[in-house]
Amino acid sequence: MRGPLALALVGVRHATRTRLRAASSSALEWASPETRRKHASRKWGRFDENLIPLWVADGDALAPLPVREAVAAASKAGIYGYVDPSASLVEAVCAGTSKSWGRPVSTNWVRWHPGLIPALYHCARLAGPKGCVVVPTPVYPPFLNAAKDASQCIELDLGQSGGPLDESLLRETLDKAVATANGEDVVLLWCNPHNPTGRVWRRNEMEAVARECASRNVILASDEVWSGLILDDVPFTPAGSLDTDVRLISITSASKTYNVAGLDVAFAVVEDDALRRRYFRAGRDQAEPSHAGLEALNAILDAGGGGPCVLTPPRGACEAWRRAMVEHLRANRDATVAFLERECGDFLEVAAPAESTYLLWLDARKLGASPGLFLSQRGVYLTDGAAFGARGFVRLNFCCSRAVLDEGLERIKDACAEARSNL
């Protein structure tokens, strides 16, 4: 631990632990920091125990009970070889997708992946080294990494508030990408709802994206993994529900909605025959989803009796859990925004409304060129915006108990007070 507040933070160690252990919820179960560190949590385990981590998109809540029971049963069976999704699981996924899209979805359109990131890399590679990948920024860092590793990359500037979409800039950027690709494929990696701003793209905006891609034969890869965590009364528009002939790859997962990202399962739906053959052929040697991940998704579907939560929320225990989570996140978001505006408004500005996700995008440029480092040296770790293509910004994860959040906010307040005193 470094920084001027180090000794003070050590001095409050016991009090902090007491407050954090006291966190509870009538509808959700929260793992303690000690438990998360014990189980090799990336979020909690990478730092000194006195630091509050509000960074990586990993929630502290225990997964729904049906999911835990299914994973435990699969583990107890003692069979850990390669597995394929069951026919019933594939059918359920297609049924949920069909309901969400408003039209039939065939089982042979589905390609399984061990998480969103492998799917993003797979999509980016479709452009080839001489093609071009368009990435809207700011954005979840693997979007940029996948694009730059696979092809030529052009950024589409969304602005720091996450919208509304500038259609003229979209057209200009796509035209530039098409010219750069010189006859090779162009892929637009889209994020809906958007990470890090939490923007839920409106239907007219999604229509514009699909229309402009279709008119230029651009492949649209739409990441929709956050669609199960809409915090405000804003309709979610799946790219597959649009009346367009765009070449679409729709990617989703239950990972964020049910806090099971570590179980490594996602899927892509590709309707276009020619694109699907290319997509499937290029991924023949790619890793498959985990056995535990497939069992978890089975439990989500079986518990609810409906389609996957991220497309058509099920009924039953898992849906009750999701609803409780949305309510908790909404309360945490509102409390965080109010606190920061009241206590830190001269140094931290809420840049986007966080209509979805559990991520708050903050303008921290008044804290210096590396605000993430500044805050971490004062006992609270947020993700620095530089990785998102937005230096001077930070992303705050509020998917935690209220006690953990309050402790983190107090440390942010103290950091801003120190910056204020140095003026």
Angle, CA 373 vertex, CA 62 and CA 12 arms, to 5°: 60
Tokens of 290: 């985990």
Domain check: are 272 and 131 in the same one? yes
**48 lies in the same domain as 153:** no
pLDDT attached to residue 26: 47
Q: What is the pLDDT of residue 309?
A: 39
54 and 94, same structural domain? no
Q: What is the pLDDT along the chain (423 residues), one digit of tens a residue?
A: 333 333 233 333 334 443 444 333 447 999 999 999 999 999 999 998 999 999 999 999 999 999 999 999 989 989 888 888 988 889 889 988 999 999 999 999 999 999 999 999 999 999 999 999 999 999 999 999 999 999 999 999 999 887 799 999 999 999 999 999 999 999 999 999 999 999 999 999 999 999 999 999 999 999 999 999 999 999 999 999 999 999 999 999 999 999 999 999 999 999 999 999 999 987 666 788 999 999 999 888 763 443 343 444 455 788 889 999 999 999 999 999 999 999 999 999 999 989 999 999 999 999 999 999 999 999 999 999 999 999 999 999 999 999 999 999 999 999 999 999 998
Among 281, 304, 327, where does a domain finish?
304
The reply to whether 173 falls in a domain is yes
Residue 312 lies in a domain: no
81: exposed, middle or buried (C-beta count within 10 Å: 0-12, 13-18, 19+)?
exposed
Whether residues 148 and 188 share a domain: the answer is: yes
Output the CA torsion sign for 196, 197, 200, 204.
negative
Contact between 258 and 309 (Cβ < 8 Å): yes
Tell me which of 304, 325, 353 is where a domain ends: 304
**C-alpha–C-alpha distance, residues 119 and 98, integer Å:** 21
pLDDT of residue 115: 93
261 occurs within a structural domain? yes
In this structure, the answer to whether residues 201 and 257 fall within a common structural domain is yes
> Do the domain assignments include residue 359?
yes
| C-alpha span between 237 and 317 (Å, rounded) | 25
Residue-number span of the structural domain to which 416 is assigned: 6-64+317-421
Provide the pLDDT for residue 287.
80
Q: CB neighbours of 367 closer than 8 A, spacing ≥ 6?
A: 347, 348, 374, 375, 415, 416, 419
Alpha carbon distance 64, 84 (integer Å): 23
pLDDT score at 82? 87
């509102």: which residue's tokens? 334
Same domain membership, residue 125 and residue 41: no
Contact 361, 393 (CB under 8 A): yes
Quote the pLDDT of residue 284: 67
Q: Single out the residue in 256, 281, 304 at which a domain terminates.
A: 304
Residue 259 DSSP class: T
Token output for 237:
């528009």
Query: Domain check: are 133 and 22 in the same one?
Result: no
Establish if 73 belongs to a structural domain.
Answer: no
Q: Is residue 69 part of a domain?
A: no
Q: Quick one: 278 and 369 in the same domain?
A: no
Tokens at residue 375, please? Answer: 């805050």
Same domain membership, residue 323 and residue 298 = no
Tell me which residue has tokens 């999704």. 85
Q: Which two tokens stand for residue 224?
A: 């929709």
Nearest to 194 by CA among 229, 169, 240: 229
Q: Which helix (H) or strand (E) holds 75?
A: helix 65-77
How far is Cα 399 from Cα 43, in angstroms, rounded to an integer?
Answer: 12
Please state, in angstroms and rounded to a whole number, the distance separating the CA atoms of residues 108 and 286: 18
What is the Cα–Cα distance from 140 to 364, expressed in whole angstroms?
18
> CATH number of the domain that 283 lies in?
3.40.640.10
Number of domains in the chain: 2
Q: Is residue 132 part of a domain?
A: yes
CA dihedral 406, 409, 415, 416 (to 10 degrees): -130
Same-domain pairing of 241 and 341: no
Q: In this structure, are residues 72 and 64 in contact, taking their beta carbons and an 8 Å threshold?
A: no
Helix (H) or strand (E) run with residue 84 in it: none
Residues 145/105, Cβ–Cβ less than 8 Å = no
Determine what percent of the chain falls in helix, strand and coil, rounding each to the nearest 5.
45, 15, 40
Backbone dihedral angles phi then psi of residue 382, each to the nearest 5 degrees: -115, 155
Residue 311's pLDDT is what? 45
d(CA 332, CA 401): 9
Give the type of residue at 202.
R
Considering the domain architecture, whether residues 143 and 278 belong to the same structural domain is answered as yes
Cα 282 to the center of its chain, rounded Å: 25
Q: Residue 58: what pLDDT?
A: 96
Measured distance CA(404)–CA(249) in Å, rounded: 38
Q: In 3-state terms, what secondary structure has residue 136?
A: strand
Using an 8 Å Cβ cutoff, are 140 and 385 in contact?
no
Query: Are β-strands 393-397 and 186-191 bridged in parallel, bridged antiparallel, or unpaired?
Result: unpaired
- Domain assignment of residue 117, yes or no: yes
**Which backbone phi and psi does 392 adopt, to 5 degrees?**
95, -5
Q: Which CATH number covers residue 416? A: 3.90.1150.10
> Are 284 and 413 found together in one domain?
no
pLDDT of 315:
54
Tracing tokens 């509870």 back to the chain, one arrives at 24
d(CA 88, CA 111) in angstroms, rounded, equals 15
Q: How many helices (H) and strands (E) does the chain have?
A: 15, 13
